[in-house]
Chain A
């Protein structure tokens, strides 16, 4: 079933009785070519690109709960490719390019809105660093644009330009950045993968990973044993728990990140605005709610909820840079569990166990990476060699000294 304006018109005139469930609910088969553990955005994207780009269709995506119920269903929906290091930036720029064509590609409305992202600048040093980053972005084919304070005053008059501690001196725009309807990403990839024959199996928890003579042969699940030639972990947030089933320790800690939404307001914020110095970023959803967040809480957690000091810190950051936010009432807040890696960058790699693959460590930036993560993981699974733009995202990069540390913070996950 393809979606189109004509189809909507036809269904509207016939009582909307022709819409069908957009993916099947199959029982697991005894064996697959590839099992993907985790039916989140990345896992579903991996299945989609494996089937579409690499022609491997005998795949199961195993999901403990319902698909898209983890971090792809609980994030602040921002897409961007404003990184600096060569291990990251080409990957994220590929992801942004995939976002730009995604809705046509999988014939699903993901409400991709390239409404821009702005990083605020408060000092000469920060301006120099941001312009350097902009030049690194140009090298990867991305767009970037420096705006002076006067330009910003005209475009975003509601910011506190004369803040005593962090006066706004300018900002770095990426106009192609923006926001996406996050749930639709999971659903669109699921629908596309299902249509190509991928089995999406919900309520199927992986309880063990079968390793025989150093090779991975399949998994144990709450719905029985399933064998596979290759098993692909894709469970960011729970990576430690799943990898432990294979006896692996990872360069990852699980941390909680909170986010917040206000009641719906008339359009006030045109794009995404980040105030890194004050631990605050904000955008406005199509429903009108201000969607904002800040830093992670900073301690290991699998609880999917945070604590009040960070709520206060984020609210203070918002009030400092954007005082109009004080009149908005908070509607809801939530916490998601992040794979915080040792250098703040992710992993798409083989493991030491033959036939077992790992995707994780996305920190708080996994959503924007969804399409490229899926494509690069699919490439690795299909060809057993890393995709060109993900070749530095290796699990052994700490022992070889090839960290991808954008912030230069070292091996302290809660500082990334």
Chain B
């Protein structure tokens, strides 16, 4: 698989570390009433999508950036790559 890095261009997926579903960006509120249940779901339960999935890849052997890669788990086709920072900012997760 080739990941088209937004800053560095096409890079071999072997340069990256895979974390998982990009839903991990949306960390629950630790002060919520049901924080324990929310963190159980956040830490342990997965949608495990069959089809296009947004996921977090870390460019360890490159610029150490976190990317949100949209990839089809049925075909391995990659259709979109964004910096995780930009995705998180758009979701109001970061400043």
Return the CB mask of B24-48 against A: 1 if under 8 Å, else 0.
0000000000001100110111111
A307 to B, closest residue via Cβ: B1
Report whether B45 and A309 are in contact in the complex, using a CB–CB cutoff of 8 Å: no
Q: B75 contacts which chain A residues (CB < 8 A)?
A: 303
User: A254-B73, A302-B73 known; A398 and B44 CB under 8 Å?
Assistant: yes
Complex CA gap A253/B45 in Å reads: 9
Whether B13 lies near A254 (C-beta < 8 A) is no
Does residue B67 face the partner (Cβ distance < 8 Å to A)?
A: no
- For B46, list chain A residues within 8 Å (CB): 240, 249-253
Give the nearest-CB partner of A298 in chain B. B18
Q: Using an 8 Å CB-CB cutoff, how does the interface string of A30-74 with B read, 1 for contact, 0 for none?
A: 000000000000000000000000000000000000000000000
In the bound complex, what is the Cα–Cα distance between A252 and B53 (angstroms)? 15
| Chain B contact residues, majority secondary structure | mixed
Task: Verify A303–B48 contact, CB threshold 8 A.
Answer: no
Q: Does A342 belong to the interface (CB within 8 Å)?
A: yes
Min Cβ gap A244→B in Å is: 8
- Nearest CB in chain B: distance from A380 CB, A: 22
Q: Which residue of A lies closest to B40 (CB)?
A: A399
Cβ of A109 under 8 Å from chain B: no
Which of B12, B36, B76 interacts with A303 by CB under 8 Å? B76
CB distance from A328 to the nearest CB of B (A): 25
Q: List the B residue with the shortest CB-CB distance to A339.
A: B48
Contact A302 B43 (CB under 8 A): no
Q: How far is the CA of A309 from the CA of B11 in the complex (A)?
A: 13
Q: How distant is the Cα of A342 from the Cα of B45 in the complex, in angstroms?
A: 8
Let me know if B18 and A299 touch, CB within 8 A. yes
Q: Which A residues between 229 and 250 are near B, CB-CB below 8 angstroms?
A: 239-241, 244, 249-250
Which one, A251, A252, A307, contacts B76 given CB within 8 A?
Answer: A307
A309 touching B41, Cβ below 8 Å: no
Residues of A near B21 (CB, < 8 A) are 300
Interface: A135 (CB within 8 A)? no
**A249, B47: Cβ atoms under 8 Å?**
yes
Bound: A412/B44 CA distance, A: 9
Q: A301 contacts the other chain (Cβ, under 8 Å)?
A: yes
CB closest chain-B residue, reference A312? B14
A359 at the interface (CB under 8 A from B): no
Tell me whether B47 and A303 are in contact (CB under 8 A).
no
Could you say which of A250, A298, A301, A342 has the most chain B C-beta atoms within 10 Å of its C-beta?
A: A301
Interface of A is mostly: mixed
User: Within 8 Å of chain A (Cβ to Cβ): is B10?
Assistant: no
Complex CA distance for A301 and B49, rounded to whole angstroms: 9
B residues less than 8 Å from A411 (CB atoms): 43-44
Task: Tell me if A116 counts as interface (CB < 8 A to partner B).
Answer: no
User: Do A253 and B18 form a contact, CB below 8 Å, given A240-B48, A240-B50?
Assistant: no
- Identify B44's interface contact among A239, A241, A251, A414, CB under 8 A: A251
Please indicate the chain B residues that have their CB under 8 angstroms from the CB of A414 in the complex. 18, 20
Interface residues of A in 384-401 (CB under 8 A from B): 398-399
Min CB–CB distance A392 → chain B (angstroms): 16
A143 to B: closest C-beta gap in Å = 35
Cβ contacts A244-271/B at 8 Å (1 or 0 each): 1000011111100000000000000000
Q: When the two chains form their complex, are residues B76 and A253 in contact, meaning their CB atoms are under 8 A apart?
A: no
Is A250 a contact partner of B49 (Cβ separation < 8 A)? no
Residues of chain B with a CB closer than 8 A to A253's CB: 20, 46, 48
Q: Give me 23 A-to-B residue pairs in the complex whose CB atoms sit less than 8 angstroms apart, sorted by A's number.
A: A240-B46, A240-B47, A240-B48, A241-B48, A249-B41, A249-B45, A250-B45, A251-B46, A253-B48, A254-B48, A298-B18, A299-B13, A299-B71, A300-B21, A300-B48, A302-B50, A309-B13, A342-B43, A342-B44, A398-B44, A399-B37, A399-B44, A414-B20
Contacts from B to A (Cβ < 8 Å): 1, 12-14, 18-21, 36-37, 40-41, 43-50, 53, 55, 71, 73-76
Sample of 4 more A-B contacts, CB < 8 Å, known A241-B50, A299-B13, A414-B20: A239-B48, A240-B50, A250-B46, A302-B74
